[in-house]
Structure 1
Amino acid sequence: MTNALAAKAPLASPGFSGTPTAPTPGAADNSTKLATTAFIVTALAAYAKIASPTFTGTPAAPTPTAGDNSTKLATTAFVQTAVSAISGAFGQCRLTKSGANIVLSPFRGNLLTIAGVACTVPDAGVSLAPTGLTAGTLYYIYATQSGGAVNALEASTTAYVVDTTAGNKGVAIKTGDNTRTLVGMVRPIAGPAFADTLAQRFVRSWFNRLKPNMVASFSANRTTTSTAFVELNTEIRTEFLVWADETISYGFSGFGFHSAANDYFIVGITFDGGTTPNAYGATFGANGAAVPCTTMLSNFAEGYHFASIVGRVATGGTGTIQFAPAGAATLAGAII
């Protein structure tokens, strides 16, 4: 009996020898059953090694505070904050008219800061149709993002402000909503439709601005008998949108004459229907002369404006601007 018991282990706190085996419990077992090596290997397979782990899926970690310089894991949020602090706000894009739509395209890079995140502008750009917009209304264009990529443009009459939120400081945003970054402004024409022509510069980018020219000419002789300045004809108007920090340069070239031999004909450049020229030229008598004039202004209110030509005679008779040859009487401007 004694010899037989010596080969047995007690039920309480047995001490096994050799290579004991037992049934392997199921992987989710959480009981007092014996855990075999197979059970443990299966359980540990769902965990990473401490040394050189290889993660799968979408690993997450606490985001270190900005400026942390340790061996802690850097999350994408930490990196975005660090990049913004080093590089400032991104505006590597430009808004233009393309076909019937406006398009925000990458320019000298492809990043745009939205709500403190450096978002990618797709290679194909992001477009907006004029559908539902009102002709003659000024709209600011804002960009939105999803998942770190610019995904849509929004036209809004809500003005912009410069954000003061940490991580997004200095970015022009839709008032009260820093999830929308300013990228441009437009003024639709009848249709509605977007316009960007020599006579109507109605699509303007906030970033990487072009310096557009504006040009219009008289198509016939234009006359006046008024002794007060009046617009000679609306066909020479050029319309444009301007940002508050831009400068406008305009010039008129043409040949004018008076019906009388001893009277003056005066022409000038005005803006927004004004009757006091910002610059003017004059001709005396029936033989006529060139009447060039130029002006440069930097105090325009932001938004819509138009330039035109006004004229008047000194005391009576008729003043004439000659249009021939074609383009001889031309109003030209530029935003610089």
Structure 2
Amino acid sequence: MTQTPVNVGASPNDRTGDDFRDAFIKLNNNDADLDGRVTLLSRLLSNTNPSYATVTISGYTIKGVGTAAGLVAAGNDPRIVGALQAANNLSDVASPSTARASLGLGSLALQNASGAAITGGTIDGAQIGSTTPAAVTGTTITGTSFVGPIVRTDVAQNLTLTQKIQAKRNVGVGCIGRRYYIGQPVTLSQADIGGLIYCEANVGTLTVPLAANFTDGDTFWIYARGVLTVQATAGDPYTFGFADANRASFVMQPGDRCQIILGQDAWDVLSYSTAHGQALLADRAQSFTAAQKAQLQANLGSAAVTAPPEGQCRLIYTNSTTLTLIPWNGNQIWINGAFQAIPSSGVTVSNSGLSAGTLYYMYAYWTGSAISLIFNTSGYTTDPLYGIRVFGAGSSDAANRLYTYVGMVYTDAGSPGVFADAPGKRWVCSWFNPVRKALLGVAGGYSTSSSSVVELSTGARASFLTHAAQSVEAGISGQGGGGSSSVGYGMFCRVSLNNDDAAPYGFGGQAAYGNCTIASAYAWAAPEGLNFVTIRGQSQASGTTTTFNGAVAGSVLG
């Protein structure tokens, strides 16, 4: 059927066109024709039966698409010669090897994941064994850097700082900042100041040089990998300060670690701890042939590798609301397996949110772009991997080592609690590189009529924070007098740590009348945390008031 046009005439109202009836009959017939065409096309598109999906319009035959006979074939229709069938899962490919070659897969596409063999080519950006570590075996392994203990002995290569340090240790070469000694006794020198000194099991003896040749604050960190005798130079009148007494030598056991620092022209032994484990070493110890050692030495070069100690810093009091971690003998601090640089201006932290009268431990952590400090009432522990002090209350060793311990602080009265660091309140204590600070109680006239030893006044105290086994020295000096003109009415006084009457002390003289000079001094290895030194004394005659006019003074590391 074809469309019939309506005759509209040559011009308006010329009476030559179709009348209304004839015109609308033509329009109705045209609409019916169009409706029929649309119906046929809809049937063509929506049916797969050839009897309904084949339409002839104006002499043209239109067929639908499908797999049945009489429809147009497409896709994987088996009537198309060479068409791959989805159900065959590529098993009908004419030549699988040619197809793999065209896709660039090669023989690797035929191997199982558990038994793949790569015989050539380059793999970039891949980690082998990162999820399930296993040994890698090969006749030649070439690369620019390696994770783990792989160290080349035959060709030049680039090594990380940690790998260089371990490799130098394996072949008996010292490193600035971290020195490794093997095979014979060692005498330290100026070059070892500030360094972490590793002594292998066969060193035996380490000699500390004359104190007179060094400056107060010079420090050595000693790490014993075997039984090690640490001794002073013969003839040195100033020997190591310990809790029991000064002495010329001491013995360290494997894994022990200590800090030796010069203070007031004498070597003090501080921060002594046991079984720290390995700190900042490569994955494992290695043994090499002479030729391999020679090649390693060539790879490492003759220049010393600079590796700073884990804490080139000090925690200091800035003001009552601010503490600062400042650079000290360098600017590096070890945090979570890497050195981070402390800015020249230091890292500050405020007292915001702190409670008064509370002991806080302070930790440094890396934000991803800077060092920051936090307070916590939970103490530290020793990281089993790196051997340094870290946060001690985390969910795992990995969580703990995010935070490196830097010191402790005790807060004074206020809301929030404020910081204090004065001779009577040394309440800021740095773990790294502590220095001697003066202690001084309030001078006054302190009286007692007790015939037994008592603290003359809590107001005479000088309090301080200290780490375990660090030396505190204190004494008293003043005038003491009896309250009677009769002979025997005198008094005794002494200095005391934490009101402990078990420690030795010096007695003062007695006076029948007037005043007599009284002095007492002692050195202790104070327990860790908040301590105080004070004046204790007694009247010689019960009920007779005697008075001491003076103060307690001393020094402590912090």
- The verdict on a shared fold, with TM-score over 0.5 as the criterion, is yes
Are 2:492 and 2:509, in contact at CA under 8 Å, matched by a contact in 1? yes
C-alpha displacement at 1:156, in angstroms?
Answer: 1.1
Q: 1:67 to 1:203 in 2, by over 3 A?
A: farther
What 5-or-longer segments of structure 1 have no aligned partner?
1-60, 323-328
1:139 is matched with which residue: 341, 360, 379? 360
Aligned to 2:151: 68
How do 1:310-321 residues align onto structure 2 when only pairs under 5 Å count? Answer: 310-316=536-542, 317-321=544-548
Aligned to 1:226: 450
Counterparts of 2:504 and 2:453 in 1: how far apart (Å)? 12
Counterparts of 2:475 and 2:336 in 1: how far apart (Å)? 42
Are 1:89 and 1:170, in contact at CA under 8 Å, matched by a contact in 2? no
Are 1:268 and 1:277, in contact at CA under 8 Å, matched by a contact in 2? no
Correspondence 1:196 to 2:421: yes
Correspondence 1:183 to 2:410: no
C-alpha displacement at 1:105, in angstroms?
Answer: 1.1
Aligned to 2:346: 125
Aligned residues: percent identity?
Answer: 27
Aligned to 2:519: 292
Correspondence 1:174 to 2:394: no
C-alpha displacement at 1:124, in angstroms?
Answer: 1.8
Are 2:340 and 2:371, in contact at CA under 8 Å, matched by a contact in 1? no
Bigger proportion of residues as helix? 2
2:464 is matched with which residue: 205, 220, 240? 240
Are 1:237 and 1:306, in contact at CA under 8 Å, matched by a contact in 2? yes
Correspondence 1:252 to 2:476: yes
Q: 1:72 to 1:65 in 2, by over 3 A?
A: farther
Counterparts of 2:541 and 2:311 in 1: how far apart (Å)? 56
Aligned to 1:156: 376
Counterparts of 1:162 and 1:280 in 2: how far apart (Å)? 39
What 5-or-longer segments of structure 2 have no aligned partner?
1-143, 166-279, 282-304, 395-399
Are 1:80 and 1:117, in contact at CA under 8 Å, matched by a contact in 2? no
Correspondence 1:308 to 2:548: no
C-alpha displacement at 1:72, in angstroms?
Answer: 5.7
Aligned to 1:280: 506
Are 1:66 and 1:82, in contact at CA under 8 Å, matched by a contact in 2? no
C-alpha displacement at 1:290, in angstroms?
Answer: 0.2
C-alpha displacement at 1:138, in angstroms?
Answer: 1.4
Correspondence 1:101 to 2:322: yes
Counterparts of 1:164 and 1:182 in 2: how far apart (Å)? 14
C-alpha displacement at 1:223, in angstroms?
Answer: 1.3
Counterparts of 1:276 and 1:73 in 2: how far apart (Å)? 60
Q: 1:231 to 1:64 in 2, by over 3 A?
A: closer
TM-score, with normalisation over the residues of structure 2?
0.44
2:441 is matched with which residue: 216, 241, 248? 216
C-alpha displacement at 1:222, in angstroms?
Answer: 2.1
Counterparts of 1:270 and 1:171 in 2: how far apart (Å)? 33
Correspondence 1:271 to 2:492: no
Aligned to 1:331: 552
C-alpha displacement at 1:172, in angstroms?
Answer: 0.9
Counterparts of 1:245 and 1:311 in 2: how far apart (Å)? 27
Aligned to 1:37: none
Specify the code of the residue in structure 2 equivalent to 1:104: L
Q: Deviations over 1:141-186 (max 9, x none)?
A: 1100134x65211111211122121xxx221111140111011111
Are 2:308 and 2:332, in contact at CA under 8 Å, matched by a contact in 1? no
Are 1:138 and 1:187, in contact at CA under 8 Å, matched by a contact in 2? yes
Rg: which structure is higher? 2
Q: 1:217 to 1:281 in 2, by over 3 A?
A: farther
How do 1:4-23 residues align onto structure 2 when only pairs under 5 Å count? Answer: none
**What do you get for the CA RMSD once the two structures are aligned?**
2.5
C-alpha displacement at 1:89, in angstroms?
Answer: 4.6
Specify the code of the residue in structure 2 equivalent to 1:208: N
Q: Deviations over 1:260-309 (max 9, x none)?
A: 322231111122234566413233221331000111112x2211101111
SS of the equivalent of 1:207 reads: coil
Counterparts of 1:287 and 1:131 in 2: how far apart (Å)? 52
Q: 1:283 to 1:88 in 2, by over 3 A?
A: same
Counterparts of 2:324 and 2:492 in 1: how far apart (Å)? 44
Q: 1:312 to 1:319 in 2, by over 3 A?
A: same
Bigger proportion of residues as strand? 1
Specify the code of the residue in structure 1 equivalent to 2:353: G
Counterparts of 2:533 and 2:150 in 1: how far apart (Å)? 52
Counterparts of 2:443 and 2:521 in 1: how far apart (Å)? 17
Q: Deviations over 1:206-247 (max 9, x none)?
A: 11111111012323x221111122222222210001111311
Are 1:249 and 1:333, in contact at CA under 8 Å, matched by a contact in 2? yes
C-alpha displacement at 1:199, in angstroms?
Answer: 0.4
SS of the equivalent of 1:281 reads: coil
SS of the equivalent of 1:170 reads: coil
Specify the code of the residue in structure 1 equivalent to 2:464: F
Counterparts of 1:160 and 1:97 in 2: how far apart (Å)? 21
Are 2:426 and 2:439, in contact at CA under 8 Å, matched by a contact in 1? yes
SS of the equivalent of 1:194 reads: coil
Are 1:104 and 1:125, in contact at CA under 8 Å, matched by a contact in 2? yes
